Amino acid sequence: MSIPSFYANSPRHLVAVDCIIFGFEDGRLKLLMMKRKVDPMEGAWSLVGGFVQEGESTDDAAARVLQLTTGLDNIYMDQLKCYGDVQRDTGARVISIAYYALIRIQEHDRVLATEYGAHWLSLHQIPDLIFDHSQMVQDALARLRDKARFHPLGFELLPEKFSLPQLRDLYEEIYQRELDKRNFRKKILAMGIMEKLDEKDKSTSKKGAHLYRFDKQKYEALTRHGFVFEV
């Protein structure tokens, strides 16, 4: 592509995308991580990322990078924030656009680690990350907390059938603090977006906990209109 004379003397920078992919499994909110394969900082833990190519939008770049790096395809990602600190990347002047997504881990092939070198790590296991990736994760968690206040969460992360303790575990992971059981139960049931099933999860006790599933239409309606949910 030829550069118009008006832009000819303007500085040029590299543009990257970084993908913050959250999943939920075994009561833990997890993050998809990789070990960096190139210098600088080869071998260090990193988010999934890469550079935007010629003639490619940042949305398309994020989808392409995620698919090529992890095999995950058709994952809807929201744009989080632009990171443009001059010194953020020790290799060059790189501006990064971060994206985040929530997915059900169990619905995706578990060959991530063996074929792509990608790993699911719980928030409590995340080591030091390259550049400003730790800040990106914290910003994505803050966005999740804001989202949880005004829109229902769980449909993207929980299995089709789940218990209230599982749902509470999810919110506790997002907020990184323990929640009052009775208060949470009262507020979450008041939303009217879940159907109680005649089945129980007996994996944690003999009595078991009733299973629920989301009413998709009511869930999506509440997502569109929003509400205020203080835990």
- Give 3-43 pLDDT, tens digit per residue: 667 777 888 899 999 999 999 998 999 999 999 999 999 99
Structure confidence at residue 108 (pLDDT): 78
Check whether residue 122 and residue 67 sit in a common domain: yes
Q: Is residue 4 situated within a structural domain?
A: no
The answer to the question of residue 36 being in a domain is: yes
Note whether residue 125 is domain-resident.
Answer: yes
Q: What does the angle CA 186 – CA 191 – CA 197 come to, to the nearest 5 degrees?
A: 80
Domain range for 182 is: 162-225
Domain shared by 49 and 99, yes or no: yes
Residue 153, pLDDT > 90, answer no
Please report whether residue 209 resides in a domain: yes
Domain final position from 91, 115, 150: 150
**Total domains in the fold of the chain:** 2
Confidence of residue 89 (pLDDT cuts 50, 70, 90): very high
Looking at the structure, tell me whether residues 87 and 39 fall in a common domain: yes
CB-count exposure of residue 61 (10 Å: 0-12, 13-18, 19+): buried
Whether residue 157 lies inside any domain: the answer is no
Q: What is the pLDDT of residues 103-132, one digit of tens each?
A: 988 887 667 877 888 999 999 999 999 999
Q: How do residues 196-219 score in pLDDT, each as one tens digit?
A: 999 998 777 677 899 999 999 998
Residues 36, 127 share a domain: yes
Q: Residue 186: is it exposed, middle or buried by C-beta count within 10 angstroms (0-12/13-18/19+)?
A: exposed
26 with 133, same domain? yes
230 part of a folded domain: no
Q: Find the CATH number of the domain harbouring 220.
A: 1.10.10.10
Q: What is the CATH number of the domain that holds 71?
A: 3.90.79.10
167, 56: one domain: no
Residues 6+ apart with CB under 8 A from 24: 30, 104, 105, 157, 158, 170, 173
pTM of the model: 0.90
- The answer on 97 and 68 residing in a single domain is yes
Same domain? 173 vs 215:
yes
Nearest one of 123, 119, 228, 108 to 174, comparing CA atoms = 123
Q: Would 3 be classed as within a structural domain?
A: no
Same domain, residue pair 50 and 112: yes
In this structure, the answer to whether residues 26 and 58 fall within a common structural domain is yes
Q: Does one domain contain both 96 and 195?
A: no
**Mean pLDDT for the stretch of residues 149-175:** 92
- Using N-to-C axis directions, what is the helix angle for 133-150 and 164-175, rounded to 10°? 130
